[in-house]
Amino acid sequence: KLSGDVTRQLEEFKKMPALYRLALNELENKIETLKTEWKMRNGYSPIEHIKCRIKEPASILEKIKRKGHEFSYENMENYIHDIAGMRIVCAFVKDIYQLADHFAGREDIRVIEVKDYIAHPKPNGYQSLHLIVAVPLILLEGTRWVKAEIQLRTLAMDFWASMEHILYYKYDSQLPPHVADELKSAARAADELDQKMLRLRKEILELTASEVDLPVEP
Ligand code: 0O2
């Protein structure tokens, strides 16, 4: 006969995919609302597009192992924060921080942790702002706050990260140094592209403002 604790863990484990899926749907709705409202207000939304995914069981197991833990429901809850994952792709870096500030001020999203790989890129060149958040799910048993990871990136950062993911991420052996250097230099190129686009935006805004005599946005 299974002990009470194991039975409870099994029950939780069975409910898990549905809970994460529902929480992710809630989060997606919030972001869609925000996107539409921003567009109606300013004619422009800082959100280019969003993508959601639930982590595959095999990938959860592999990540717990990679982090040096045994598989258990507790370890999964404690160490894996990105079972529900959302990626928000923005046009400009300043949009990313504007969104992160917005999330920090909301009552229906708790920001638990911020990992700023834009200010501090990973050694391989990876850039993104990661937020570990919790969103409330109103269930019959009461309110349950479910964790999710939001990755915020520019289009250029997303291009680099998607390519790197295809090419190398989770590749088991060491990369030859010249390949690692090339990847890093591609990340710098993405960063330069972001900065160039921001300069262009500023110039275009200045031109538009001078034509119609409007104050220029900072
Ligand atoms: P997948 O397959 O994309 O889901 P920690 O903060 O140390 O507890 P964690 O969760 O590894 O652990 O934190 P981190 O570094 O914030 O990474 C979370 C996710 O960010 C990864 O999930 C990737 O999606 C993405 N990521 C992080 N580093 C890189 C990188 O160097 N290149 C790319 N392309 N993506 C990266 P997974 O589960 O590792 O992978």
The DSSP symbol for 142 reads E
pLDDT in tens, 99-149: 999 999 999 999 999 999 999 999 999 999 999 999 999 999 999 999 999
Instruction: Give the up-direction half-sphere exposure of residue 171: CA atoms within 13 A in the CB hemisphere.
Output: 12
What's the predicted TM-score (pTM) here? 0.88
Query: Domain with 70 in it: what CATH number?
Result: 3.30.460.10
- Which pLDDT band, with edges at 50, 70 and 90, does 5 fall under? confident
User: Which residue, by CA, sits nearest to atom 31 of ligand 1?
Assistant: 126
- Report the complex ipTM: 0.92
Helices (H) and strands (E) in the chain, counts: 6, 5
Domain count, the chain: 1
Distance in angstroms (rounded) separating the CA atoms of residues 25 and 31: 10
Examine the residue annotation and report whether 77 is marked as an active-site residue of this protein. Answer: no
**Residue 198: inside a domain, yes or no?**
no
In the block, tokens 């004619």 appear at: 43
> Is 144 inside any structural domain?
yes
> Is 20 within a domain?
yes
Q: Which pLDDT tens digit goes with each residue over 10-63? A: 777 778 889 999 999 999 999 999 999 999 998 889 899 999 999 998 999 999
Query: Which residues are near ligand 1 (CB < 6 Å)?
Result: 55, 59, 63, 81-82, 115, 122, 124, 126, 130, 161, 164-165, 169
- Residue 183 sits at φ, ψ, to 5 deg, of -60, -45
**Is residue 204 one of the residues assigned to a domain?**
no
60 belongs to a structural domain: yes
b/e for 44-71, b at 16 or more Cβ within 10 A?
ebbbbeeebebbeeeebeebbeeeeeee
Q: Is residue 66 part of a domain?
A: yes
**Which residue of the set 32, 70, 113, 149 is catalytic?**
149
| Residues spanned by the domain of 115 | 4-157
* Protein residue with its CA nearest to atom 18 in ligand 1: 82
CA–CA separation, 143 and 146 (whole Å) = 10
Q: How far is the CA of 5 from the centre of ligand 1 (A)?
A: 31
Test site for ligand 1: of 82, 150, 162, most ligand atoms within 8 A of the Cβ: 82
- In which band, very low, low, confident or very high, does the pLDDT at 4 lie, cut at 50, 70 and 90? confident
Please count the residues of the chain.
218
- Separation of 130 CA from ligand 1 center, angstroms? 9
Q: Is 105 inside any structural domain?
A: yes
Q: 68 lies in a domain? A: yes
